[in-house]
Each structure stands twice: as structure tokens, then as C-alpha cells.
Structure 1
Amino acid sequence: MTPHKIPESVLVVIYTPALDVLLIERAKQPGFWQSVTGSKDTLDEPWVETAIREVQEETGIVVGSPEVPEPALADWAVENVYEIYPVWRHRYAPGVTHNTERVFGLCVPHGTPVTLAPREHTQYVWLPYQEAADRCFSPSNAEAILQLPQRITLR
């Protein structure tokens, strides 16, 4: 039996200095475009480790490499709590209805190669941040993308 998902996840907005944002399309939900997301593997896994792992698993981008040094990943210290869609609740322990999502930003050089996990995502696109926000299925994902101009001036 597969263990239950932990209702704590990361959202990582990957973008270039020109504010082009990487979106990936979910394999099992065509038309569902999003940034990198993923749950903690253990309750005590630090948020930053979850973010680094999920970015590498879903895009092949290695945080901590010479091309994408660790300081390129910023913990925005924002947590969204939202209701888990009923269609996905079976993945969680009985009675779990809400997830806490920690938001990160990751600035990568223009032209950074992307290698998708084919079972999870079918295609990717780089879009100007406003277009990317419009294409996102998740309201919290769209909101995070729209915060990019303010977030990069705070760094």
C-alpha cells in the first residue's frame, strides 16, 4: 500500500531575470498548467529540501549546480492553506481536507534546459509572467507569479 501524502507541499515559481516563467502541464490533467509543486517526503523534511528535490524531479534543474547556485532559490516565507480537491483526497490520510503550501522562487538563466518527468508532465513552456499567471489552474500559483516583480526587488 502506498503511504499517505503529507498535506504539506511546496510551490516553486521558476523564472528568468527577464521574468519569463516556466510552466509545466500535468500528464493526467491535460490543460492543467502549473509551476513545480510537490509534497514533503517526511514530516521533518525542511521546506528548502522539498523545494530542491521537487525542482530536480520535475524539471531536471539542479539547485546548487554552477548554473543554478543555491542562493538562486528564495523562500518567500508565504504559506497558503487550501482545501484539497475531493478528487485527490484519497491520496491523504482519512479526514485530511487541507494542505499547507510553502512558496519559493527560483531564478535561473535564460535557456536553462528542462527535462520533464514524463509520468508527471507532458510539456513545458516559458511565458512572460503575466501570461503565465493567466494560464495557471491554481489561484495560489497565479498569485505567486504575479508577485514576481515585487519579489525580485526585495532580494
Structure 2
Amino acid sequence: MNTPSKPYKRPVSVLVVIHHQCQRFLMLQRIDNADFWQSVTGSLEADELPLDTAIRELCEETGLCLAKEQVHDWQLHYDYDIYPEYWHRYPPGTRRNTEHVFSVDVALDSPITIAPAEHSAYRWVDADTALTLAYSPSNRNAIAQLILQAAS
């Protein structure tokens, strides 16, 4: 469980969808569950703003260290139930999380360096595959919204 060296996570996080012109999406496979593919996610640290977390998590999880101007803040958040297998990461009794949504449009040849403690693989995939792979409903919703925006 949690120790003084590893404090509980805040139940506030970010989701950063990485795409190339809303046609290709970068999906990351979690190391603790081979079926769990996702975009970049991460909890806010103490006194951290969602945009700062999005930038930090992008850099930590993919090696894409971008400027604030390159990250699109959707001014949208999803509230969802935390998966039971992750309850121990949060303060006792915490069962809901608020996830702020961001996206970045990057070149397909952008160098990607995944965080080996969190992810075992990454793939650039088409929109349909991204929707199929995305494990969490909030991740699927965000990808679907990007696809709809591109089509209009």
C-alpha cells in the first residue's frame, strides 16, 4: 500500500490525447494490464494546475516535452468512478476522479520514449482502432470528439 515515500494521489487528473491531424492517435499500453491502452494520463501534484500536469505527464510518459502553447486545453472535464484495482492509490474512501481533457497534434515522426515503469508499448493507430483500444470510457469519448471535430 502507500507509504510516506509514496503519498496518496489527488483524485484530480489529466487526459492528454496525442494525435496527428485527428487521423492517427498515439496509444500507450499499461505495464500492469496488457488490455489497458490509453492516452497520456496523470494525477495533479500538490499545487499543480491541470495544464502544468498535462505538460509534465506528456514529457514523462512519451518524451514529448512541449510548450504550453502547443497543448490544447479543452476546458472540459469528466467525472468518473475510479477502477477498484486503483483505490489503494487514493485517500481512504475516495472513489471518484475529475479528469481534465487536453490534446496535442504532433508529427508522426516525433520521437517517442515511453516510461517503462508505466507502459510496455505504444502504437500510432487510426481513429477506429484508437476507439477500440481505449480502455476507459473518458478516453474513448475524447477521441470520438476529436474525430467529430475533424469531420465537421
Normalized against structure 1, the TM-score is what? 0.90
1:105–1:151 CA distance, 2 compared to 1 (3 A): farther
> Could you tell me how far apart the structure 2 residues matched to 1:54 and 1:4 are?
17
3-state SS of 2:87 partner = helix
- Tell me what 2:41 maps to: 37
- Please state if 1:93 is matched with 2:100: no
Aligned to 2:128: 130
Which is further off, 126-135 or 116-125? 126-135
Q: 1:47 aligns with which of 46, 50, 53?
A: 50
- Maintained 8 Å contact 2:64/2:111: yes
Q: CA RMSD in A?
A: 1.5
Post-superposition offset of 1:72 = 2.5
Deviation (angstroms), 1:55:
0.4
Higher mean C-alpha deviation, range 78-87 or range 48-57? 78-87
Residue 23, structure 1, aligned to residue 39, structure 2: no
Deviations 1:23-59 (A, max 9, x none): 00000111210000000011x3111000000000000
Q: Helix, strand or coil: the match of 1:51? A: helix
CA distance in 1, matches of 2:110, 2:134: 21
- Superposed CA deviations along residues 51-84 of structure 1, whole A, max 9, x for unmatched, are 00000000001112xxxxx332101111110111
> For 1:32 and 1:139, how far apart are their aligned partners in 2?
12
Q: Secondary structure at the match of 1:94?
A: coil
Residue of 13, 17, 33 corresponding to 2:17:
13
The within-5 A match list for 1:99-118 is 99-118=97-116
Q: Alignment partner for residue 56 of structure 1, among 56, 59, 72?
A: 59
Matched with 1:67 is none
The amino acid that maps onto 1:143 is: N
Report % sequence identity.
Answer: 43
Residue pair 1:33, 1:136 contacting (<8 A) in 2 also:
yes
Q: TM-score, normalised by structure 2?
A: 0.92
Q: How many residues align?
A: 148
